[in-house]
Structure formats: structure tokens, C-alpha cells
Structure 1
Amino acid sequence: MASITRLFDIPYYQKEQFNSIPDALTTKENGVWVKTSTQEYIDKSNAISRALLQMGVQKDDKIAVISSNNRTEWHIMDIGILQTGAQNVPVYPTISEDDYEYILNHCGATYCFVSDTEVLRKINLIKDKVPQLKEVYSFDTINGCKNWTEVLKQGEEANNQDEVEARKNSIITDDLATIIYTSGTTGRPKGVMLSHRNIVSNVIDSAPRIPFQAGKSRALSFLPICHIFERMVVYLYQHYGVAIYFGESIEKISDNIKEVKPTVMTVVPRLIEKVYDKIYAKGNDLSGIKRKLFFWAIELGLKYEPYGANGFWYEFQLKIARKLIFSKWKEGLGGNLELMVSGSAALQPRLCRVFAAAEIPVMEGYGLSETSPVISVNDMRNRGFKIGTVGKPIDNVEVKIAEDGEILCKGPNVMLGYFKDETKTAEVIENGYFHTGDIGEIDAEGFLKITDRKKEMFKTSGGKYIAPQILENAMKQSRFIEQIMVIGDGQKMPAAFIQPNFDFVKDWAKIHKINIGNTNESMIANKIVIGRFQEEINVINEKFGHWEQIKRFELTPDVWTPDNGHLTPTMKLKRKIILEKYKNLYDKIYS
């Protein structure tokens, strides 16, 4: 039986365990889902490897792959590159030209494969400043740009497979596989070096937590493949013989879910919030008994506790709610969805409860690019699920809490270090333990709970410590609040910038017949709207000590997005940039 020690072993393992899955990788092209079988996947990957060797690619060369959407070609290139001993350097498509220039020069990329005209446009703007870059190829057909099929065809006509096999045999599990450039909330991105062993161990050790039916499940993949979370999960799908369908875009995800009818998909909390908001809005449009039943089911779902902890009467009511209301939620999500795996940010406990009640559990996990990424994850089975936590550490990963509350992690998943930066590596890895920068605790049952970012904690002028993420996560449970950033370092009191949930505020104003105008600016200037936000904050403030409570806030008219500079591609707050953007509001609060 084939064993998996290097990432490119995974397709061969899938072939041996599950024969050739007809839809191992599936991408929509011109309105049609185009399937690639396991055997085709292997054959095309080998063709890419043969061509790359003919093109002079050496062991430890770096090849950048930049794609705006997940697609079959990315994964064929990935295995094809890895088999040569070169490293696949995935890059976020939405970063600035300056960051493209920095990353391609920092890693020394010799070739670059891009998805579309927009990514190519950015590369062309900085190509002259990247002297070692030999050629750029595109997945889409673009005039004036070489196409990746030229490389594929060259490899299909080549007869140097013996050279590929020799190169594969020279690669050991501790060799570097990829460099992941972290999006970072400040400064230049850092290149996280991950070995084959780092990621393979994470696949193998995470696998027991995911209740897949081996060879029988179907996944929809749409989170950015350049991030290690989605990439590791796609390797995990392959290991389990899961048929993988790549979503067209985040805008079309609703249509793709109905077409693909997945049993599993990865999500970020923001997507879950949007799904819930859409469901809630539809329920709001109902009338009479249907409306009453809908909101009765919601209230029931918000009280959900796993493993029958709420007792017989609750479980009896839940059974009725599932049949009458929640079953329709499942239908709206394709009808087969059994599991969503959430990462990258904290999931609101209310969403965790209500989706678990609807029998579409969201299993929240935790990890970082530096840990390949999974450190811990919830699991519905064997009492491994606890709302408000990120689950128990996975096999072979040791977690301990330092004296100052920081989460430390040790295991085969911990990165080799930061590329070309021994100083920063030494700052975060000490005695084999990776210092996550997150503050947390492990409860009596072994569940890990994240409470804040170590670097983001601050002290008021009164000497009181404030953990902003705890406040932010609590405030975001309000459906009025889309994004919030707590401020007040060195000031007499905590305050906040708030991006309203503009769609929800519009619906609320319509129901209450309040004229808030037609723009975001007019909405946030409305005294009734401001008063309503104050009510929300007052209620949530009661959960905190007097020194922690949000004393003042300002609403912002902008939608906080990665493109607008407020968030990283993984939806984390860029605190320094947000402070700069709203310096006038900061001065207004503290003047």
C-alpha cells in the first residue's frame, strides 16, 4: 500500500485506494462542469513535471501560481511543480502591485502562472522589476500571453519520465514544499516555509476529526487556495477520495451549491453570517402562522446545546422545528450538506448553535499559516464538540498555555521558519514551541478557547488591560454590526469604530417607517439610527466590567473589505490602517 510522505504522493494514494475517481477535480468552463479523473490528474501532473525539467527547472527553484478562483489547473500545476523538487509559491490575487514585486523578488520566482487578465495586468506592470522572472503563462486564453497548455503539450510529447522519477526519489519529507506569504496586518508579508512533512502530517492528523464517507463525499471548494487552510483541506479531500468541485466565485456560490449539492465545504464566519442573514430576511417576509413558526424555530435554535443537554422536551421541540423549518434551510444549501468547517476568524456562538440545530453543523477550528494550519478543531462525534471553543488539539500536536496566557504549539506541523529571516523565526520558535501570538485557555475537558491576540491587547490611561477581540466578538453578535474595531490604547476609555450592517439597517428602517435617506452617509448621520446602535451597545456592555465597556463609538460609511484596505485577505482587521483612515473620528471621540 502506498504511503504518503510527500504532498505529490496524495494523488497516487487516491488512485490506489479508490481507483480513478471520475470527478476527482471539477471546474466549470463556459457553463459546463468539466471533470478530471484521478488518472488524468496524475497524467497531466507528470506532463507538467516533464516540461518543467526540460525548461531547466532545478530543485528548490520557486514558481509562483496566482489564481483569482479555485480551478483544476492550479492543482495539476501544484503536483507538477512539487514532483520536480521546486516550490509552489501561491500568491493572493488581490494584493497590490508593490506586494507582487516584493514577493516575486523575495522568493526569486523564475516562472509565474496566472489565472486571468486582471492578475496578468498587475504582473506586467512590475515584470521589468523582477529580473529573474523568465516567463509568464496564463490559465485563461489571453492575447499576448503564453498559455499553460503550451507547457502541458510540451510535457505530453516529452519522453523524460525517468528523469521525473529520479527527481521525485530525491525529495525527502523534510524538504521545503511551499512558501506561503502571510497577508499580515502590518508591514511586508513574511514567507512561511512549509515542508512536505509539515502539511502531510496536518492532513493525516486532521483526518480523524472529519466525518467523511471515504470515497462517497462531494466537496465544494471556493475559499482562496493560496491560503494554507483551503489548500490543506483540498489535500485532505483527495486523501479521503472526496470528489472536489471548484466554485466559480464568491458571488456565484449560492448557484454552485444548488448545482453541486455538496456534502462538505469550508467556510469563513463572514459567509455563515451572510447565509444566516438571507435566511432571516426570508423569514421576515413571511406572515401569519408561517412567520411565527419560523421565529419559534430560530429562538429554539439559539438555545441549542449538543448531546441532548437541554433535555427531552427541548429535543422533542427541536425534532418538530427540524421537520417544519430547518429542513428547508438544508434544501436551500443543496440538500446534502452535512458539515461546514470554519476557520480564519472567530465564529459567533449564536451561529454555531442555530446551524447545529438545523443539522448543518459548523465545526470551528484554529490554526495559523505557520502551523500548516490546523492546531485544533471541533468534532461532533465522541463529545468532541463544544460551542464557543475551537475544539481539542489534533493528534501529535501539543498545545500549552504560557504564563502570560499565550498559546504555544509544538508538533510536526510547525513551519521550518520564515524565508530569509532567521531573526523573525527566532522570535516565534523557542525550544520547538511556536508562539502563536494568540491568548487562550484550555478547559478541564481539553477544549481550547481563543480569547485575544497578544499584540492587540492594550492598556487604558487608567492602567486597565483591554482585550479588544473579546469585546468585538461580543458586539458582532448584534445583527446591526457588520464590523467593529475597539480603540483606546493609552486613552481614558475604550471606544469603537463600527461599520453597520447596511442591508440590515435598511430593512429595519423600512419596517419601522424611518426615513434614513439613500446613502450610507445619510444613514449613519440619522439620530434614530445612532440611538438604536447605542441601545445595542448598552445591552452588550452589561456583560463586561465598567472599565471594559465601550463608552463612545462612531459609525463609518465605508464597507470594510480587503480591496478597500480595512481587512487582510483572510478578513482580519488591519488595525493600523483603520486607525489612519478614521483619524478624524478618533480625534472626535477623544478630543
Structure 2
Amino acid sequence: PLAPGQVEYQLAHGEARGLIVSGQEQADKVLPRLPALPGLEFLISFDPVDVAGKLPHLTWDALLGRGRQLGAEGLGRVLLREDALGRDSLATLIYTSGTTGPPKGVMLSHGNLLSNAEEVRAIVEVGPDDFSLSWLPFSHIYARTLDHYLAHLAGGLTFLARSRDTVVADLAEARPTMMNAVPRFYEKVWSLVEALPPEERGRRLRGLFGPRLRVLYSGGAPLPRHVCAGFHDAGLPLLEGYGLTESSPTISFNRIERFKIGTVGLAIPGVEVKIADDGEILTRGPHVMLGYWKDPEATRRAIVDGWLHTGDLGRLDEEGFLTITGRKKDLIITSGGNNIAPSELERLLLADPLIDQVVLYGDGKPFVSALIVPNLEGLRAEARALGCALEFDGELIATPALLDFLAARVERRMQAVSKPERVKAFLLLGRPFSVEAEELTPTQKVRRAEILNKFRDRLDALYMEKPPATSWEMREEVSDTHP
């Protein structure tokens, strides 16, 4: 879910004229911000909402009724507009997190979407007898292509989960033949059976997914190798793929008949993949976006001579299997598939006068954590006011009262962003980053990789069942896996 400010940005930047919402909760994100959205002309809602006369409003049922009243003349106008469209026509704008600034609107054409769905269909061999359960949000291209467009092309049936909290119950009802999900879902499922005897794991997993299941697919974030291997050993093929919004999204996929655990598979038909001299993954083909909405300079940087620069690092083996080894960009992708630009969140935290330096962590993890360097002079003043002293565990500050005090400030600042983006745990470092410790460049730029490598063990401990006393953790939100 997006925070109200993010909704406002996308509506304004995308020049939206209309908005469709499910109900009052989503409408309330927009109604107070209408003065900043002069181009918004109407609102459609599935459930009745109170717009307080601020915007022309129709329910979905009322909209359908108006359409029926237009009759043949109205249908003719629609068909004329439809005939004017081609494969190169803009189909959708999907906003993705930027690493160095505001989110970018990715322009995808009808041809982008069709070609990607057509080629994926050939790989996954989906047909009219297939059933899938969809629970990922359609604001992401992964869910649109793998759950929605694919089913339309193949004539298969897609069940929509009632909510992310009812997925297990909905599985029992839908009994799908195939399913797409993010790694965090499979991690949670595997944690339920990992301690069981090997022969029992398969039975439990089959009981969860149902007797018709033939294959599971994972995308949106790196899939832990042990989870993938565990599902395979239990008799449930779990196949990992790779892509990004700018590539509509699929670039590569493992196949049932040809896969390698630990890789993201082979390039799909019609898609070229190569590795640049610096290790960056480049791709070319009909899946590459039209560009970034109202940002020609970013488009020129991203697409060079037809090759999309993904920002990811990888390697191709002799058989063409692609392995992701890292990212040139600093984008954090949690195990729930949430793309999070750390620079924006870090700037938000650094606006607090008690925080001098910060580095975020969380790639492949269930939530975002942070290593924070406080303003030590200010923190000592707060310690005196609280009647406590700075206590240390090695280099980390371990005073409970100070951790709680700073936690409240962090938590308040995190209200400005969506829940998956929020820092939910942190460590407090009792010294500043330095050039001498190889944590800063000579020009005082943070060396993110060096810092994370140095403190990785302490940061990883934040994700344990019982985190260390030197940390603060917002336990009630740790289970949030919504992409």
C-alpha cells in the first residue's frame, strides 16, 4: 500500500484525469490532497464512498449502467478508439522506486505486454485446464503478466484471493494447478515444514497447495537457495525467474524440464541477454519499455543502442543460465518483493537532528533495518535528561532508554512512507563513520558495501527470533510482506 504522499505524486506526475478506488479507505488518501491535483476530474469506487462533494463520483455499478445506456453509438466510439491502437501504443504507466530521486513512471506498450505474456506462456505451458490463485497486487507488472495477461491468453482460470491474510484458506478452496508468489511467501511456508522429517515435508506441502498443483513460480526478489532446493526435494517444482518493470517484466525463467537451482534460468524466447564489461546485465528485445514518462534523459541513460541497462550484476554460464550476483544500484529488494530506494529513506531519517549518519539494510530480508550513527552530543544531552548514561556493547550503544527514545523518533518519521518501506529495526553505532575505517571516501561519501560487510553479522541478528538487546525492533510490523 502506498502512503498518501506517494499516491499524490503518482497522480500528479502521471497527469491522471480519473481515479478508481476500492472504498473509503483509499478515497481518503486522495480527497484531502485534491488542491494539489487540479487535473483529477472524477472518482470511481467499487463500494459506496463519501466524497463530500469534492469530486464527481460514480460507483462501478453506476458506471456500467451508464455504459449500457449509450447503446450502439457508444460502442462504436469505443471501437474507433480501439482500432487506433497498435502494438507500439502506450498501454500503462507503472511507477517504480528510484535510487537517486523520485519514482519514475515506466511506459509499457501493448506490444511490450503482449510479447512478454506470449513468450512466458510458451515456457510455462499454461492452458485452459490450468487454475491459478492470484494474491499479489496488480499495481506490479509481475502479477499482471503472470496472473492476469497469461490467463487471458491461455484461457485459464484465475482465482483472486480475498486478501493476503486468507491465502492459505483460499488455496484450499481454489486448489490451483500453478501459482506465482514472492520469495517471502515460500520462506514462510518452508519454515512451517523445515523441521519435519523429509518424507513428511512433501505430504504437508501437498496438503497446503492441493492435489492439482504441478508447478510454483517465484519472482520479484532473490529466492533463497535452500528454500528452492527444499521444495524440489519435497516433490514440488519451485522455479525462479528474473525481470524488472522496465522489461515488462520477464527476462529469464527456469523451465520444468530444464532448470538450475540458484539461477534465474534461461532467457525467454525473443529476449537477448548479455553481460557488460562491468558485470551489468543488459537485455534487448520487444519486452524493453518505451521509456520513462516525462524523463527523456533517464530513458537515454537506461536504454543504449536498444539495450536496457538493468542495474543488476550477473553472469551467464556455458549453457546460458543467468545468475544474479548483486546490484550496481543500491535498490533494496526485500524478500516480499518490495523495491525500496534507500537514499530517499536515509534522507528522511537524516532530517532528524539526532541522526548524523545512516545506512539501510534489508536486501532479501523480510523488512528494512538500519545502522544509525546518532548525534553523540545531542544523545548525551538526552541521556542526562532521562537520567541514564551511555552503555556500550562493543561499538554499539545498548542503553534501553535511549534506544526507546530514538525508536519513537524513527517511528514518527516512518509514517511518511508505506509500511513495507519503513525501518522496523536498527542498531545504534557509538562512533561516526570515518575515512580511516574505510567507511567513507575522501570526499565523505558513505561506502555502503564496506559498512554493511563490516556490520553484517550484527545486522543479520536483527532478523533472529530473539534480536539482541543492543537493537530496537518494531515487532508488530515484522510480518508485513505485502509487495
> Which residue identity does 1:495 align to in structure 2?
F
> Which residue identity does 2:163 align to in structure 1?
S
> Which residue identity does 1:130 align to in structure 2?
L
2:174 is matched with 260
1:271 is matched with 185
2:293 is matched with 419
Q: Distance in 2 between matches of 1:443 and 1:326?
A: 31
> Which residue identity does 2:69 align to in structure 1?
E
Q: Distance in 1 between matches of 2:271 and 2:84?
A: 28
1:385 is matched with 259
Which among 196, 199, 204 is matched to residue 328 of structure 1?
204
> Which residue identity does 1:96 align to in structure 2?
A
Which among 343, 357, 364 is matched to residue 233 of structure 2?
357
Provide the secondary structure at the position in 2 that maps to 1:494: helix
Pair 1:231 & 2:144 matched:
yes
Report deviation, 1:483.
6.6
1:505 is matched with 465
1:167 is matched with 81
Aligned runs of 1:264-303 on 2, under 5 Å? 264-280=178-194, 294-295=196-197, 297=198
Decide whether aligned partners of structure 1 residues 142 and 563 sit closer, same or farther in structure 2, where only a CA change above 3 A counts: farther
Provide the secondary structure at the position in 2 that maps to 1:275: helix
Decide whether the 8 Å contact of 2:316 with 2:322 is kept in 1: yes
Pair 1:494 & 2:454 matched:
yes
Decide whether aligned partners of structure 1 residues 471 and 101 sit closer, same or farther in structure 2, where only a CA change above 3 A counts: closer
> Which residue identity does 1:236 align to in structure 2?
L
> Which residue identity does 1:218 align to in structure 2?
F
Unaligned runs of 5+ in 1: 1-93, 284-293, 298-320, 458-467, 507-522, 526-553, 571-591
Q: Distance in 1 between matches of 2:121 and 2:128?
A: 14
Decide whether aligned partners of structure 1 residues 99 and 420 sit closer, same or farther in structure 2, where only a CA change above 3 A counts: same
Decide whether the 8 Å contact of 1:401 with 1:440 is kept in 2: yes
Report deviation, 1:452.
0.3
1:588 is matched with none
Decide whether aligned partners of structure 1 residues 128 and 483 sit closer, same or farther in structure 2, where only a CA change above 3 A counts: closer
Q: Distance in 2 between matches of 1:559 and 1:443?
A: 41
Aligned runs of 1:132-281 on 2, under 5 Å? 132-144=39-51, 146-159=58-71, 160-212=74-126, 214-233=127-146, 234-280=148-194
Q: Distance in 2 between matches of 1:208 and 1:168?
A: 27
1:557 is matched with 473
Q: Distance in 2 between matches of 1:498 and 1:368?
A: 27
2:251 is matched with 375
2:23 is matched with 116
2:213 is matched with 337
Q: Distance in 1 between matches of 2:59 and 2:2?
A: 23
> How many residues are paired up?
372
Report deviation, 1:555.
4.5
> Which residue identity does 1:138 align to in structure 2?
S
Larger deviation: 341-350 or 159-168? 159-168
Larger deviation: 171-180 or 325-334? 325-334
Report deviation, 1:328.
2.9
> Which residue identity does 1:346 align to in structure 2?
P
Report deviation, 1:562.
9.9
Q: Distance in 2 between matches of 1:128 and 1:470?
A: 37
Larger deviation: 359-368 or 437-446? 359-368
Decide whether the 8 Å contact of 1:376 with 1:391 is kept in 2: yes
Report deviation, 1:500.
5.4
Provide the secondary structure at the position in 2 that maps to 1:498: helix
Provide the secondary structure at the position in 1 that maps to 2:139: coil
Decide whether aligned partners of structure 1 residues 158 and 417 sit closer, same or farther in structure 2, where only a CA change above 3 A counts: same
Q: Distance in 2 between matches of 1:425 and 1:142?
A: 39
Decide whether aligned partners of structure 1 residues 482 and 426 sit closer, same or farther in structure 2, where only a CA change above 3 A counts: closer
Which among 129, 133, 137 is matched to residue 36 of structure 2?
129
Decide whether the 8 Å contact of 1:258 with 1:334 is kept in 2: yes
Report deviation, 1:359.
2.1
Q: Distance in 1 between matches of 2:361 and 2:104?
A: 27
Decide whether aligned partners of structure 1 residues 130 and 456 sit closer, same or farther in structure 2, where only a CA change above 3 A counts: closer
Larger deviation: 335-344 or 445-454? 335-344
Q: Distance in 2 between matches of 1:483 and 1:258?
A: 32
Aligned runs of 1:393-472 on 2, under 5 Å? 393-456=267-330
Decide whether aligned partners of structure 1 residues 98 and 111 sit closer, same or farther in structure 2, where only a CA change above 3 A counts: same
Aligned runs of 1:19-38 on 2, under 5 Å? none
The RMSD of aligned alpha carbons is: 2.9
1:533 is matched with none
Q: Distance in 2 between matches of 1:122 and 1:482?
A: 24
Report deviation, 1:237.
1.5
Provide the secondary structure at the position in 1 that maps to 2:473: coil
1:30 is matched with none
Decide whether the 8 Å contact of 1:182 with 1:189 is kept in 2: yes
TM-score (norm 1): 0.59
Decide whether aligned partners of structure 1 residues 268 and 561 sit closer, same or farther in structure 2, where only a CA change above 3 A counts: farther
Decide whether the 8 Å contact of 2:229 with 2:261 is kept in 1: yes
Report deviation, 1:136.
0.9
Decide whether the 8 Å contact of 2:193 with 2:201 is kept in 1: no
Report deviation, 1:271.
0.6
Q: Distance in 1 between matches of 2:304 and 2:288?
A: 12
Runs of 4+ residues deviating >4 angstroms: 468-473, 481-489, 499-502, 559-564
Decide whether aligned partners of structure 1 residues 174 and 350 sit closer, same or farther in structure 2, where only a CA change above 3 A counts: same
Report deviation, 1:99.
1.7
2:351 is matched with none
Q: What CA deviation, in whole Å up to 9, does each residue of 1:450-487 have, x standing for no partner?
A: 00001239xxxxxxxxxx999966xx7xxxx9777799
Report deviation, 1:431.
0.4
2:378 is matched with none
Q: Distance in 2 between matches of 1:195 and 1:232?
A: 13
Decide whether the 8 Å contact of 1:397 with 1:411 is kept in 2: yes
Decide whether the 8 Å contact of 2:361 with 2:370 is kept in 1: no
Decide whether the 8 Å contact of 2:462 with 2:468 is kept in 1: no
